[in-house]
């Protein structure tokens, strides 16, 4: 006789009491469960659901959680980060109008083709619950550990700090000290940041080698190594966000205001006449940024404070080259200033 919960068409029904319920995925002495499906009542639809798993009464991420519903085209593995690790406590929005199904799956078990790790929909036909049951065959090499439970909280759960409904608020106009934020358990992230004039925001993820995927689409941004920089228009508050279809940060997020300036000027030929130039800006040991100047000069915007060498190349005569030491903001140097580089004769 099949176990209750072995298929999406035969789920373990959860009854919400005060917006919460706990379901037993495997009993304390049960070691032969390969998967367990729970149904969330339809009256919960349209709210958010908080999912927490435990083994032996201790919170654990040694299982995977998957959400699907009748007629969906994608099974969603709940709230994984950029490295594919599931959160200890995960929030997900519930679909409106139909009961949701939550599957508790052994970590590393087989996943169907139409499955998403980050909430992004996968292209494919809509599937009935019976079809989803076929898509999730029992992996006989993987079993749930004994005494695995799923705790569900719906509706009355307050939006966690840092979500779209309850965003983090960071103000760098009175202090320039870096701020470290732990991403919330919600599938979306929102950080409202106010910067001082002529300042960009440096954003890094402590747990990843690359730049974070969070961004404000209204702000100009650029990446440098493992950091992303955002520079809004003057007086505009940054609204940094990440939706459920974006891979979550791995670690904590560090926000740091970086003073920036504009380096601008006009290239001058050796005879003293204005020259259209391409300018390459070095940050002491490495090239930092390059721009192509027009007849009216050049501009390098949003330059963090530092010690640079700016090199100008004539666009009409590549032999005319001039390098200039630049301090941002302007200041005293122990050496420097206006070195002319004369290239060797051709041939």
Report DSSP letters for 44-77, one per residue.
GTTSEEEEEEEETTEE--SEEEEEEETT-S-EEE
Residue 207 makes CB contacts below 8 A (sequence gap 6+) with 81, 83, 249, 250, 251, 252
Q: What is the structure's pLDDT at 338?
A: 41
> Burial level of 316, CB count in 10 A (0-12/13-18/19+)?
exposed
Q: What is the structure's pLDDT at 311?
A: 74
**Using CA atoms, how far apart are residues 186 and 121, in angstroms rounded to an integer?**
18
Q: What is the structure's pLDDT at 155?
A: 65
Q: What is the structure's pLDDT at 344?
A: 42
pLDDT in tens, the chain (347 residues): 467 888 899 999 998 888 888 999 999 988 888 899 999 876 665 567 888 899 999 988 888 899 998 888 999 888 776 666 777 777 777 766 677 899 999 888 878 888 887 667 788 899 999 999 988 876 778 889 999 999 988 764 567 789 887 899 999 998 899 999 998 877 778 999 999 888 999 999 887 667 777 777 778 788 877 888 888 887 788 888 876 656 678 889 999 999 888 888 887 766 777 878 778 776 554 445 656 677 778 888 888 877 777 777 666 655 555 666 666 666 544 443 443 434 444 43
Domains and CATH numbers, the chain: 12-154 (2.60.120.380), 168-259 (2.60.40), 266-341 (no CATH)
Q: Helix, strand or coil for residue 135?
A: helix
How open is the CA angle 165-64-245, to the nearest 5 degrees?
A: 40
Q: What is the structure's pLDDT at 5?
A: 87
Q: What is the structure's pLDDT at 53?
A: 92
């Amino acid at each position: 006789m099949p176990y209750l919960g072995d298929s999406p068409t035969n789920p373990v029904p959860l009854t919400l009491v005060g917006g919460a319920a706990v379901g037993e995925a495997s009993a304390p002495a049960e070691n032969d469960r390969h998967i367990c499906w729970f149904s969330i009542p339809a009256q919960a639809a349209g709210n958010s659901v908080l999912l927490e798993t435990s083994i032996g009464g201790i919170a654990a991420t040694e299982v995977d959680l998957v959400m699907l519903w009748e007629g969906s085209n994608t099974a969603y593995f709940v709230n994984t980060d950029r490295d594919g690790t599931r959160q200890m406590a995960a929030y997900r929005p519930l679909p409106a109008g139909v009961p949701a199904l939550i599957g508790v799956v052994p970590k590393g078990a087989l996943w169907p083709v139409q499955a998403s790790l980050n909430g992004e929909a996968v292209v494919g036909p809509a599937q009935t619950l019976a079809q989803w049951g076929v898509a999730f065959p029992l992996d006989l090499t993987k079993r749930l550990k004994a005494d695995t439970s799923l705790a569900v909280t719906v509706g009355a759960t307050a939006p966690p700090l840092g979500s779209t409904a309850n965003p983090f608020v960071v103000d760098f106009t009175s202090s320039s000290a870096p701020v470290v934020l732990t991403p919330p358990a919600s599938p979306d992230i929102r950080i409202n940041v106010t910067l001082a004039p002529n300042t960009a925001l440096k954003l890094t993820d402590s747990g990843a080698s690359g730049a974070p995927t969070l961004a404000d689409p209204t702000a100009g941004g650029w990446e440098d190594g493992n950091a992303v920089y955002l520079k809004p228009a003057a007086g505009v508050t940054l609204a940094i966000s990440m939706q459920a279809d974006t891979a979550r940060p791995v670690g904590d997020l560090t926000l740091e205001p970086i003073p920036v300036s504009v380096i601008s000027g006009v290239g001058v030929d050796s005879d003293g006449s204005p020259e259209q130039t391409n300018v390459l800006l070095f940050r002491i040991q490495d090239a930092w940024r390059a721009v192509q100047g027009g007849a009216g000069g050049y501009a390098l915007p949003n330059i963090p404070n530092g010690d640079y060498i700016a090199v100008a190349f004539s666009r009409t005569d590549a032999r005319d080259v001039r390098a200039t030491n630049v301090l941002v903001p302007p200041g005293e140097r122990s050496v420097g200033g206006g070195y002319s580089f004369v290239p060797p004769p051709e041939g």
